[in-house]
Structure 1
Amino acid sequence: MVAPARPRKLAKVPFVELADGRLQGVVSSGSDIERVYVSSVEAGTYAFACSTNNNRPCGGARGSYCNHIRALVGEAVLQYGAERVARWLRVDTGDEEPTAAGVTAAMAATRPAQAEAKTAAPVFSRFLRHLAYLELTPDTVPLPEMQWFPQARAVA
């Protein structure tokens, strides 16, 4: 577990991850509290997808990055740091220190294609799984699904 580069607010982007060759996550709707969007950007090609958790396409992602994807990149930079996000997505920001705006601008300059939102279901499922951990009472008993994590050994 890597500590966040900077603290972030979870209301707008409650879930962000660098996984499966993409930057992906869940972004809250700005207009409907009951709606969330699952957004992703592929590393290298910068192909993007954005749809609701019910697989309805995002109206703002028509040929360019929507505000959900821009928010996702911004929160990923807060969570992981700009250099790590740029390295993960394989974005060349030139000689400048990477920023969220710089990473997004560099990706948008390549005129990325809109990808099919086929990754929405697994990403949303992982988000719901993370929410389930918040409902657990604090305990020191190991969780069976977490047993694969390496355990620290005591040094004698």
Structure 2
Amino acid sequence: MSGWEESSTARVVAPARPRKLAKVPFVELADGRLQGVVSSGSDFGRVYVSSVAAGHYAFACSTNNNRPCGGARGSFCKHIGALIDESVVQYGAERVARYLRIECADTAPTASGIAFAMSNTGPPPADATAAASVFSRFLRQLAYLELAPTTSPLPELQWFPPTRAVA
């Protein structure tokens, strides 16, 4: 058994490239969606929760107080575009395209190629079901930033099963 299998931490995949968190502070490939939080360009106190479903590309974009994005009417808004761009920086274009089940042309996928491939499938249906869970996960991530540095275990992260008997 290797060392990481005996610890209570999981390996983290390093970002494809370092990214700036000001525009898109939270992005993840989870729950069958590319999803995240995008800062508003016009209001410092507003963020948008955006998501695109894998396979059929149903999308949603709304503010942190559940108001629909004015730009996401039948096509991707600029927030979803920013989310796609930052997901490519975070995970790499190949991984994002594979996760979203996108067949790009003969060339290697890019952020603009991923957005183009999804928008060429016809108008994607709206999907507003993800906003609450995505924003909740973002707030949970922010809460960890407020904790004082410590080497003590965090109770909410104690769900890892023990790998050996403790005497």
TM range (shorter): over 0.9
> Is it true that 1:11 corresponds to 2:2 in the alignment?
no
Q: CA deviation at 1:53?
A: 1.1
> Is it true that 1:96 corresponds to 2:141 in the alignment?
no
Segments of structure 1 that go 5 or more residues without pairing to the other structure are none
> Is it true that 1:113 corresponds to 2:124 in the alignment?
yes
> What is the rounded CA distance, in whole Å, between the counterparts of 2:121 and 2:56 in structure 1?
8
1:48-59 matches, within 5 Å, as 48-59=59-70
Q: Which structure has the bigger radius of gyration?
A: 2
Counting aligned pairs with the same residue, the percent is 75
Q: CA deviation at 1:94?
A: 1.8
Q: Which residue of 2 aligns with 1:143?
A: 154
Q: CA deviation at 1:149?
A: 4.1
1:19-45 CA-partner distances (Å, limit 9, x unpaired): 110000000000000100000000000
> What is the rounded CA distance, in whole Å, between the counterparts of 1:150 and 1:43 in structure 2?
31
Segments of structure 2 that go 5 or more residues without pairing to the other structure are 1-11
> What is the rounded CA distance, in whole Å, between the counterparts of 1:64 and 1:25 in structure 2?
18
Pick from 25, 30, 38: which aligns with 1:27? 38
| Aligned 8 A contact 1:64 1:108 in 2 | yes
Q: Which residue of 2 aligns with 1:129?
A: 140
Q: Which residue of 1 aligns with 2:6?
A: none
**Residues 5 and 152 (structure 1), Cα distance of their counterparts in 2 relative to 1, 3 Å cut:** farther
> What is the rounded CA distance, in whole Å, between the counterparts of 1:119 and 1:2 in structure 2?
24
Q: Which residue of 1 aligns with 2:96?
A: 85
**Residues 48 and 143 (structure 1), Cα distance of their counterparts in 2 relative to 1, 3 Å cut:** same
One-letter code aligned to 1:37: Y
Aligned residues: 153
Backbone CA RMSD of aligned residues: 1.5
Q: CA deviation at 1:152?
A: 9.1
Q: Which residue of 2 aligns with 1:39?
A: 50
One-letter code aligned to 1:134: L
> What is the rounded CA distance, in whole Å, between the counterparts of 2:38 and 2:114 in structure 1?
18
1:12-67 CA-partner distances (Å, limit 9, x unpaired): 00000101100000000000001000000000001110000111000000111000
Q: Which moved more, 1:142-151 or 1:83-92?
A: 142-151
With normalisation by structure 1, the TM-score equals: 0.93
With normalisation by structure 2, the TM-score equals: 0.87
Runs of 4+ off more than 6 Å: 150-153
Q: CA deviation at 1:77?
A: 0.4
**Residues 151 and 3 (structure 1), Cα distance of their counterparts in 2 relative to 1, 3 Å cut:** farther
